[in-house]
A and B are shown apart, each in its own frame.
Chain A
């Protein structure tokens, strides 16, 4: 597998004078969480790492080759991105939406094969939305749409997952199910990098963390070394109370 990594990467946030350049390596088997307040650049970083936005400086590599030198189709076979916002204006059913995940793998004249269809079906089952297969996506609830989007990326079956707030709109059960799916992907040899707003989910499921501060400052490393209450309080500008429950640290905002 081609490891996603970046060297001296500075993301381009309008109005931000500078920041700490990032040197990240998202190895197979790792689950990375990006934490930071609103506007810190979490989504921008994900889009930059996926090659959808230009960096201010520095470069992103997939294996040995720069992302910009690779054909988009080849990138899409390696790299899957679940967006935070989606355009569901143009009508399409849930199954049709999941099947577009196969696009990078098919040549222009090729129709989806029975294997592609089976893969899409398994993904929909895995995300518990297979009973909605014939429904139009724009008639679904927010949480159902979120699961369809993750199922689409599962159908794409990339080696590296970039996920923008995977638990958005999801109920407690499905939050856990999605985090389990992502860690399971990592255990199976994929690399996962996700933006999260929930400290407790991050503490529970991520083995590496990247903290993005609003002024462009950043630090990253193994989760245990990053989950320092003082650092987190500074990150969110919010007093936190800490406890340990069920073997994982729990952070609660102080009123």
Chain B
């Protein structure tokens, strides 16, 4: 008798790991707080100093990191299905380039921080529409055409970003570079990323089986009763919205969106109904851990979080790949 693995135990484990990572992350920093004290603060007790430290400084940042990581991982998983390419990541269609250009232009004219975020979001949406409009062309868009358009447009964004960096005054360069490397320290609001993540998961979960079918190719999917074009539109819009929100929150943090869905597929199989929520938890956890490392390793100095997503992700991925059949 063929047995299917139950879907909930891996999700339960991932949820518990996420919670544990967040409790530890909230406790670590320039002043360390023991997990027991952290839990006491979260339960509404603890000293005044600890309450300020945890609730006002660290918790918003940890939540923002979790939300951003989750968004990127889910967006990566969606893009991989949309393009039928396991090597796709959220930025593959040039979305981060558009966002970066918006943000850097805003920084160049010394706009307020809120405007930098708004410009990044606007740039991301512009990039999305541009790629989709161009790939649409005269009616036919195929994943390979979308991919090619995205990659070429991304190269264009790259050139524009280099141009801005070349002409920007020297004192603005560090801020720009940090933005490009991605940094959760920029996250001023923690709730949008988590809110978008939860809402998207609610939209995407009932679509999980349809995405499994879509991954078998558009013609096969249509033969199995799927309305392929509307679904592909929806997946594209959702993945773009997720990525735009993530980029606006914390700049373009690399690696999470590519590697987390991959790792999960190696461990859990290929059912999108499991992979998508698991990506949300695992991506969030990875970024929480990476951000904690980024702000504690040479504290009080902070390192770009992208360095640590790669430092944690690369060996883990290579190990799992080596171990798999």
A residues engaging B (CB < 8 A)? 47, 50, 52, 71-77, 79-81, 83, 86-87, 89-93, 95-97, 100-101, 103-104, 106, 108-109, 111-112, 117, 120-121, 124, 130, 133, 136, 156
Contacts and interface: CB of A to CB of B under 8 A. Distances in A.
B4 interface: yes
Given A100-B224, A120-B2, 7 more contacts: A73-B225, A83-B220, A87-B84, A89-B85, A96-B269, A96-B270, A112-B4
B269 A93 contact: yes
A179 B207 CA distance: 36
11 contacts: A76-B225, A83-B219, A83-B223, A87-B217, A91-B270, A103-B209, A103-B213, A103-B225, A111-B7, A112-B4, A117-B4
Interface string B72-116: 000000001100111000000000000000000000000000000
A86 B215 CA distance: 11
Contacts of B213: 100, 103
B2 A72 contact: no
Contacts of A97: 216
B225 A104 contact: yes
B1 interface: yes
Interface string B201-225: 0000011011011011101101111
Given A90-B86, A90-B215, A103 B2 contact: no
Nearest to B83: A90
B52 to A, nearest CB: 44
Interface string B1-39: 110100100000000000000000000000000000000
Contacts of A71: 225
B140 to A, nearest CB: 13
Interface in B15-73: none
A59 B261 CA distance: 44
Given A103-B210, A117-B2, A133-B2, A89 B84 contact: yes
Contact of B224 (A76, A90, A95): A76
Contacts of A87: 84, 216-217, 220
A133 B206 CA distance: 25
B223 A90 contact: no
A70 B270 CA distance: 31
Contact of A50 (B2, B223, B265): B223
A81 B220 CA distance: 8
B226 interface: yes
